[in-house]
Structure 1
Amino acid sequence: MGRTDQQLRCWLRSGRLAAGRAAVNWRRWIVGAPVGLGAMGLGFWAQAVLPGSSGVNGPLLEAMLASPPPHAVPKASAGEDLQGVAAERMGAAQGSLALAEPAQGTPLELEIRVAVVREADQLQLSATGPWWLRRADGSVLRQGTAGESTGLRSGDLLPAELWLETSAGHAVQVNGQAYDGRLRLLRDTGGLLAVNHLPLEAYVASVVGGEMPSSWNLEALKAQAVAARSYALAHMARPASRHWHLGNTTRWQAYRGLASSHARTRQAAADTRGLILSYQGGIVESLYAATSAISLEAHGHLGASMSQHGAQELASSGQRYNQILGHYYRGASLARLRQGTG
């Protein structure tokens, strides 16, 4: 399922981002630096990848790792954000902030790795269908039927790497939480580590539901989907660990597996499939927060950051997702992940 790290690196070297009217060759990416809002009108990070590299390093990496995390939407009223939305409506209504939508292309299937349990003393494993607990060589260590569970303890004599898999159309489960894809189980410093390997688009659909109420306007959900996908891809280029790209908490993005994946969030992901925010061939690590006030407090020193309540207000007033993104991420463009050579 998905692509191996080697295949992903090959794609990064040879693939293209279809941005605006022209494709941007990923082979020309260079390690960039943050550009000040006052200098260029661009206040977000642009993540870039060197050919053959798995990420960036040095001061830029340290700064990005130290940046405040996005926040899940609180249950409080959106009234506090209305003042910030008033000006946004005026500009977006004129359509001048809308980002151009790239042409369609053959979708690029990517697999993301998310650490869902870390430093655990024990894990309880199951699936909604028949399941197999396999060694790294594919041989079966244990197996069971739907709903039947098995436990792992950090002190057990186990292989260093195990995979929990189930049949198509079913979900794997760890500690009662259901996930799409499969689970890689490792003995790591401090205990057991469970990493969910799943398609990027399934991950995005779950994050949208974890970061916004699924009942919100579809255009707001679509804006969130693009921001979430862009943020995820930046961390796929600069993984947190050799075993996983990013975690499942708001230190990264809120990811709760199938519990936060709903029909409308899956539609938002499908309608924006492959779309990310880009700047000069780099991936924008798109920050966002619940309200304009929180966004300013958490990310003001970094520049651009989307207000989720603001996105909902703009969408409710008739604005499309690309107009919403155009307001919050000034100077960026929409790019589409698609297969290609070059």
Structure 2
Amino acid sequence: MPKVPSGADEAVPLDIRVGLISQSPVTAFWPGRNVLCRNQEGSVIPAQQLGKTIAGSSQREIHCSGGPVQINQQRYLGDISLLKDQRDWIAVISLDLETYVASVVGAEMPSEWHQEALKAQAVAARSYALAHLARPASTAYHLGDTTRWQVFSGETSTTHASRSATWQTRGIVLSYDGGIVESLYASTAQVSAEAHGHLGASMSQTGAQHLALQGRPFNAILGRYYAGASLARLKRHDQ
């Protein structure tokens, strides 16, 4: 069973950029009251002109910050960049890693499941994200928001239970030989074996729930699926 690392439990501030692939193309964009949007030259775009700008402008980039936005039917908290390729706009959100993890936990695992299973999911999601900070999917974002990576649905999938599991494991990641484990997982053992069997260790989410119901803590659950890995805590460079 990997030992839960001791030491300071203050969250290390890290931002991650997520490509909102599931919301491409962007057909509707509503900024919150305090959101400020600028074009690539830095000029402010009035809120009432955003729809027109997205629909037919020659602009290639729009950057928005300062509050929540709604993209198509999803609500997000974070700084948003709208980037236009040859035809369509894609949205990229930049947000705090722990805020991201809380959304992933709620999207990837039912929030009514056992808290220890949710905590195992939080560590796995955080480790997977950290691996992509080091090896980004593209120059624009670290990873996408679909099952190709791990599902992220912004505020829609963030719940009290997912926040709690994230907070209780804040900064904890899976490590092997001093590196971050790209902690793969899938819904069941069968799917996990079919999807990731050739890649190595992978957690069954339903298996994690069964173990939690048997009284296993999150570190024991992770040890069951990621043999040989240890738990490490992210630290600031000055610590």
Structure 1 length-normalised TM = 0.65
Say if 2:66 is the partner of 1:166: yes
Compute the displacement of 1:101 (Å): 2.3
Compute the displacement of 1:116 (Å): 0.7
One-letter amino acid of the counterpart of residue 109, structure 1: P
Q: How does 1:185-224 map to 2 (within 5 A)?
A: 185-224=82-121
Say if 2:212 is the partner of 1:315: yes
Compute the displacement of 1:206 (Å): 0.5
Q: Which residue of 1 aligns with 2:31?
A: 127
Say if 2:202 is the partner of 1:305: yes
Say if 2:99 is the partner of 1:99: no
One-letter amino acid of the counterpart of residue 338, structure 1: K
Percentage of pairs with the same residue: 49
Compute the displacement of 1:191 (Å): 2.0
Q: Is the 8 A contact 1:217 1:316 kept in 2?
A: yes
Compute the displacement of 1:211 (Å): 0.6
Say if 2:148 is the partner of 1:251: yes
Compute the displacement of 1:323 (Å): 0.8
User: CA deviation digits over 1:9-47, x for unaligned, max 9?
Assistant: xxxxxxxxxxxxxxxxxxxxxxxxxxxxxxxxxxxxxxx
Report which of the two structures shows the higher radius of gyration computed on alpha carbons.
1
Q: Which residue of 1 aligns with 2:19?
A: 115
Q: Which residue of 2 aligns with 1:141?
A: 45
Compute the displacement of 1:138 (Å): 4.3
Compute the displacement of 1:180 (Å): 1.3
Say if 2:133 is the partner of 1:236: yes
Q: Which moved more, 1:180-189 or 1:210-219?
A: 180-189
Equivalents in 2 of 1:215, 1:161: separation in Å? Answer: 40
User: Aligned pair count?
Assistant: 239
Q: Is the 8 A contact 1:121 1:154 kept in 2?
A: no
Q: Is the 8 A contact 1:154 1:187 kept in 2?
A: no
User: CA deviation digits over 1:197-249, x for unaligned, max 9?
Assistant: 11111110000011100000011000000000000110111001111011110
Q: The residue matched to 2:118 in structure 1 has which SS?
A: helix
Q: Which residue of 2 aligns with 1:292?
A: 189
Say if 2:82 is the partner of 1:181: no
Q: The residue matched to 2:228 in structure 1 has which SS?
A: coil
Equivalents in 1 of 2:116, 2:23: separation in Å? Answer: 38
Runs of 5+ unmatched residues, structure 2? none
Q: Is the 8 A contact 1:161 1:184 kept in 2?
A: yes
Compute the displacement of 1:262 (Å): 0.4
Q: Which residue of 1 aligns with 2:124?
A: 227
Equivalents in 1 of 2:162, 2:176: separation in Å? Answer: 26
Equivalents in 2 of 1:309, 1:324: separation in Å? Answer: 11
Equivalents in 2 of 1:121, 1:253: separation in Å? Answer: 19
Equivalents in 2 of 1:278, 1:251: separation in Å? Answer: 22
Compute the displacement of 1:164 (Å): 1.9
CA RMSD of aligned residues (A): 2.2
Structure 2 length-normalised TM = 0.92
Compute the displacement of 1:299 (Å): 1.3
User: CA deviation digits over 1:253-293, x for unaligned, max 9?
Assistant: 01111110001101111111111101111110001111111
Q: The residue matched to 2:84 in structure 1 has which SS?
A: strand
Q: The residue matched to 1:294 in structure 2 has which SS?
A: helix
Q: The residue matched to 1:252 in structure 2 has which SS?
A: coil
Equivalents in 1 of 2:207, 2:122: separation in Å? Answer: 15
Q: How does 1:48-127 map to 2 (within 5 A)?
A: 97-117=1-21, 120=24, 122-127=26-31
Q: Is the 8 A contact 1:100 1:334 kept in 2?
A: yes
